[in-house]
Amino acid sequence: MSIQLNNVSKTYHLKGRNVEALKPTSLKVETGEIFGLIGYSGAGKSTLVRLINLLEKPSTGTVTVGDDNLTELSSKDLRIRRQKIGMIFQQFNLIESKTVYENIEFVLKASKYNKKDVPARIEELLNLVGLNDKSSINAANLSGGQKQRVGIARALANNPDILLCDEATSALDPDTTKSILNLLKSINRTLGITIVIITHEMEVIKEIADRVGVMSAGEIIEIGDTYNVFSHPKEEITKDFVQEIYNFEVPSQIKETPENQVITIQFLSENAEENYLNQLYRDFELSISILNGRIEYIKEKPLGFLMFQVSGKVEEIERLKTHIDNSHGIERVGYIG
Amino acid sequence: MDNFSQLWPLLYRALLETALMVSISIFFAVLIGLPLGILLYITQHPLLFKIKPLNATLGWLVNIIRSFPFIILIVAIMPFATWLVNASHGPVFASVALSIAAVPLFARLVESSFNSVKDGVIEASIAGGAPIYLIVTDVLLPEAKKSITQAITLTIISIIAFSATAGVVGGGGVGDLAIRYGYYRYDTLTMIVTVIVLVIIVQIVQWAGDFISNRAEER
C-alpha cells in the first residue's frame, strides 16, 4: 500500500519558542518498496516516520495511506486503521512483564481477532520470525535480537500492509542487525509489505533500501534510487554517509605534488569487479601504488572505490586522468579522501 | 496497669479494631484510588486521554484532601460519616475518615507508579491500535504491578499511623490505646507494649508487601 505525505510539517512549541522539527515535506512511498530515510540524530527522521501513523499530529499537511486520508479520520477510525500499520522500535518497546505469547496476543485483542484463531496465529507469527520455542518466555528475559523479532511478530500480527521501522537495528550488534534486516527483506518479498525504515546507519540502507531519502535539519535534501544516490551523492551530508562506509582517507605522510598525485576512482555496477588496474599498469608509464580499495554491495549491486597514488611525468598523469574520464562506468571522485 | 494480663484484653480488642479499620480503609483506598490514579495518569498523557481541565480538577481535589491535617479531616467530615454509616463513633465510623484520607494518597502513588512505565511501550500500544482500556489493563497495570504493590504497602502503613488519631472519634485501635493509656495516663507498660506491637505490625506489613511485590516482578 502506498504512503503519500502532502506538505506535512511539524513545529513544536517549547517554552514560547517554535522548533521546526520537519519543514513542509511531500513524499510518496510506493506499494511494496523498501524506503529508507537516513540522517543524523535531530534531522527530523523520527518525526517524519511518526507522522505516517499519526503518533505525531502534523502541524500542516495531510497523510494518506492507501485510500485513507489519516488526518481526517476520527480517533476511533484512526485507531482501527493503525492496526494495519505495523511499527517496530529501537528499544523494542515490549511489555516486559508479559510473555512473548502475551505480547503478540495483546495486539490481537486490540483488533478483536477471533479468539479461537489466536493461538494458531501466534504460532504462525513466531515461526515466521524464528522464535517458535520462546512462546512462554518473559519478554524481559530475551536478548535484543529476540526482542526485535517479537516486535516484528507483534507488528505483523494484524496483517498490516505497511511496516514502519524506527531505528529498528540501532540497538543491535552487527550480526544481529544483519539477521533482522534479512528478516525484514524476506517479509517485504513474501508478504509484499511496504517498509519505511529510518536509520543513521549506512549499513542498513545499503543492505535493504530500494530508495533512500537523506534528511538534514528537518528536510529531505536528497532522494532517489539508493544506488544512484550513493554513487553520485550531491549534498555534503550524503557524501559524508558514503565516506562512512568506505572510510577512505589519504595517508598523512603523502605530500601531493603535480608529479605525485592521489586519485580516487569509482567503479559502477558491472565494472566494479573488472580488473581495470592491469590495463593502467600496461598503458601508462607511471608508478602506481594502491592506497585503499573496496567494493560495497548496495542492494546487491557492486559499487567499488579505489584510491591510488600515481607518480611520474605531469603530462602522463594528465593523460591517465583523461583516460579514466573517458572510460565507461569509471569515474574520478573528488570528495573522498 | 501493672502487668500484662491486665493489658492483654485491651490490646486484643485494639488489635481487632486496627485490623478492621485498616481492612475497610485499604479496601476503599484501592477501590476508589486505583481508578482515580489511572484517571490522573491518562488525562495528562498526550498519547492516551489528555484532557487538561479534567486532570487539573482531579489533581486539585486530591491535593485539597491531602493537605488537610488528619484530625481536622475527621472532624470536618463527621456529619457525612454519621449519615453514611449511621453511627457516630467506633472503628467503622473512623474508617470513613481513614478511607477519605487514604484514597487520594493511594491515587497519587498509583499515578507515580505509572510514570515508571516506559513511554515507548505506550507508544507501541497506540501504534498497534489498542484502545485505552486495553492499554490500562494489559500494559499499565502489569508493568506497574511491582510498584503498585509497594504503594498498597505504603498506604496500609500510613493508615495504621493515621488510625492512632482515630481515637478522637472512639475509633479505637492500637495507636489509640497507646495514646489514651500510655500517654494520657502515664502508663509506661502499655506505652512500651503498644509501641512494640505497632513496630511489629508495620514490620510484618512491610515484609509481606516486599515479598509479594518481588514475586510480582519475578513471575
Whether A147 has its CB under 8 Å from any CB of chain B: the answer is no
The three-point CA angle A305-A182-A171 to 5° equals: 85
Q: Which residue has the cell 552487527?
A: A174
Which residues on B lie below 8 Å from A95 (Cβ)? 121, 138-139, 142-143
SS3 annotation, chain A: CCEEEEEEEEEEEECCEEEEEEEEEEEEECCCCEEEEECCCCCCHHHHHHHHCCCCCCCEEEEEECCEEHHHCCHHHHHHHHCCEEEEECCCCCCCCCEHHHHHHHHHHHCCCCHHHHHHHHHHHHHHHCCCCCCCCEHHHCCHHHHHHHHHHHHHCCCCCEEEEECCCCCCCHHHHHHHHHHHHHHHHHHCCEEEEEECCHHHHHHHCCEEEEEECCEEEEEEEHHHHHHCCCCHHHHHHHHHHHCCCCCCCCCCECCEEEEEEEEEHHHCCCCCHHHHHHHCCCEEEEEEEEEEEECCEEEEEEEEEEECCHHHHHHHHHHHHHCCCEEECCCCC
Are the beta carbons of A154 and B138 separated by less than 8 Å?
Answer: no
Confidence grade of residue B218 (pLDDT, cut at 50, 70, 90): low
Are the beta carbons of A154 and B128 separated by less than 8 Å?
Answer: yes
For testing contact with chain A, the best of B42, B117, B119, B125 (most A CBs within 10 A): B125
Which of B129, B138, B142 has the CB atom closest to A83's CB atom?
B129
**Beta-sheet strands, E only, within B90-216:** none
Count of C-beta atoms within a 10 Å radius of residue B64: 10
Task: For residue B81, give every residue at least 6 positions away whose Cβ sits within 8 Å of its Cβ, in sequence order, or none.
Answer: B93, B96, B97
Of B165, B54, B184, B12, the residue nearest B101 (C-alpha): B165
Is the pLDDT reported for residue B219 higher than 60? no
Task: Encode pLDDT of B42-89 as tens digits.
Answer: 999 988 988 999 999 999 999 999 998 888 888 888 899 889 888 888
Instruction: With beta carbons less than 8 A apart as the criterion, state whether A38 and A241 touch.
Output: yes
Whether A137 has its CB under 8 Å from any CB of chain B: the answer is no
Alpha-carbon dihedral angle through residues A45, A51, A56, A62, given to the nearest 10 degrees = 140
Whether A82 has its CB under 8 Å from any CB of chain B: the answer is yes
What domains, with CATH codes, occur in chain A?
A: 3-236 (3.40.50.300), 247-332 (3.30.70.260)
Are the beta carbons of A110 and B121 separated by less than 8 Å?
Answer: no
Interface of A with B in 190-229 (CB under 8 A): none
10-residue stretch averages of pLDDT, chain A, 337 residues long: 92 86 93 94 91 93 92 92 94 94 95 93 93 92 93 94 93 91 93 94 90 93 92 89 80 83 83 72 87 83 86 89 86 72
Amino acid at A187: I
Output the pLDDT for position A273.
59
What domains, with CATH codes, occur in chain B?
A: 17-172 (1.10.3720.10)
Which residues on A lie below 8 Å from B123 (Cβ)? 55, 89, 93
SS3 B45: coil
Closest residue of chain A to B145, computed from CA coordinates: A97
Interface pTM (ipTM) of the complex?
Answer: 0.85
Output the pLDDT for position B3.
72
The Cα–Cα gap between B53 and A165 comes to 35
Are the beta carbons of A55 and B127 separated by less than 8 Å?
Answer: yes
Which residues on B lie below 8 Å from A140 (Cβ)? none
Write the Ramachandran bin of A169: left for phi over 0, alpha for psi from -120 to 50, otherwise beta.
alpha
Instruction: With beta carbons less than 8 A apart as the criterion, state whether A310 and A261 touch.
Output: yes
Which residues on B lie below 8 Å from A93 (Cβ)? 118, 120-121, 123-124
Task: Encode pLDDT of B7-40 as tens digits.
Answer: 888 888 888 989 999 999 999 999 999 999 999 9
**DSSP secondary structure letters along B173-185:** SHHHHIIIIIIIT
Output the pLDDT for position A337.
52
